[in-house]
Amino acid sequence: MVGYLIQRLLGVALTLLVAAALIFFLLDVLPGDPARFMLGINASDEALNALRQQLGLDQPAFVRFGQWLMGLFTGDLGMSASQRAPIAELILERMQLSLPLAFGALLLSTLIGLPLGIFAAQNQGKFGDAGLMGLAQIGIAIPNFWFAMLLVVVFAVTLKWLPPGGFVPWAENPTAAFRALILPTIALALPQAAILARVMRTSLVDVARQDFIRTARAKGLSKNQALWRHGVRNALLPVMTIMGLQFAFLIAGTIIVENVFYLPGLGRLIFTAISARDLFVVRSALLVLVGLVVIIMFLVDLLYALVDPRLKKRAGN
């Protein structure tokens, strides 16, 4: 198991290094001059050269890439060109919203999707199965932004139960911050719950046809007992992969929902930085997103090794 863990950690480090290089150099070759964008077209050459020197744009790309990597290790990501604030502080501030939103949506989608998928598999071919899978198909087809606007109209505008948008920092009012994330969490979670329900149902139906389930039934277990004791654990393997990919979507793809609810999250930070051509913020924020996704997939791999005994044996060889 130690060898398996070391191998995966090396894979994570290599992935992050390659991602950092791709992000930096792809953004670096984009046309345009950040200094001229910041100072305007009427800026003098002296002012432009001074700003380029201040931002480090006068140095070769490989030197700037090395300095950026060193800054990543020390936590010094530089200054935002558009907001004149430390990039690390901007990202940490936005993560206080984006991480709870993503984890909350993932938790809610798991609590809804997995039980519904198991129920549908237990009632395969019956009315409950067909009804749930039909609802799941509708949930997958509904766009997040449309569902988010529907939630605002019903629960914020009509019923006035929850705020329609905005966010209060956790330190100022935790209750208001929690209430502000309820509708965005639901808007993100329900379509993902529909996907999880379908995947769980399909996986569990396939497992139910395996020989070890028939053996358990032959020993006297009922269908539901055999599925719960022996089927669900084996059916979770593909589901965990989907959950890891869903977290990647939730952490990186919330920009539309954040704009619907006027939430100052990480996705909105990237959007505003791109609009202002603040590539210093864009590259650091993108790498943070990539790092979160890679870490989550690393944890999924570890869960694979815990759930599937075959991976444990391979790790030990």
> Each residue of 245-293: pLDDT tens digit?
888 778 766 778 888 898 888 888 888 888 888 888 999 998 988 888 8
pLDDT at residue 313 in the model: 56
Asked if residue 170 and residue 49 are part of one domain, the reply reads: no
Q: What is the pLDDT of residue 307?
A: 67
User: Is 147 found in the same domain as 44?
Assistant: no
Let me know: does 141 contact 195? Beta carbons within 8 Å.
no
Instruction: Clarify whether residues 58 and 162 are in a common domain.
Output: no
User: Which neighbouring-strand residues pair with 79?
Assistant: 86
Do 155 and 162 touch, CB atoms closer than 8 A?
A: yes
pLDDT of residue 238: 83
- Give the pLDDT confidence score for residue 308 in this predicted structure: 65
Query: What residues in the chain have per-residue pLDDT under 50?
Result: none
Per-residue model confidence (pLDDT) at position 11: 87
* Within-domain flag for 21: no
Contact present, 156 and 163 (Cβ < 8 Å):
yes
Report DSSP state, residue 40: -
Domain range for 272: 87-276
Residues 252 and 228 in one domain: yes
Residues 36 and 148 in one domain: no
State the total domains in the chain: 2
Q: Which CATH number covers residue 191?
A: 1.10.3720.10
Shared-domain flag, residues 140 and 255: yes
Q: State how far the Cα of 273 lies from the Cα of 37, in Å rounded to an integer.
A: 12
Q: What's the rounded Cα separation, in Å, for the pair 193 and 216?
A: 30
pLDDT of residue 314: 54
Domain-embedded: residue 259: yes
Contact between residue 278 and residue 271 where contact means Cβ atoms under 8 Å apart: no
70 lies in the same domain as 138: no
Say whether both 255 and 127 belong to one domain: yes
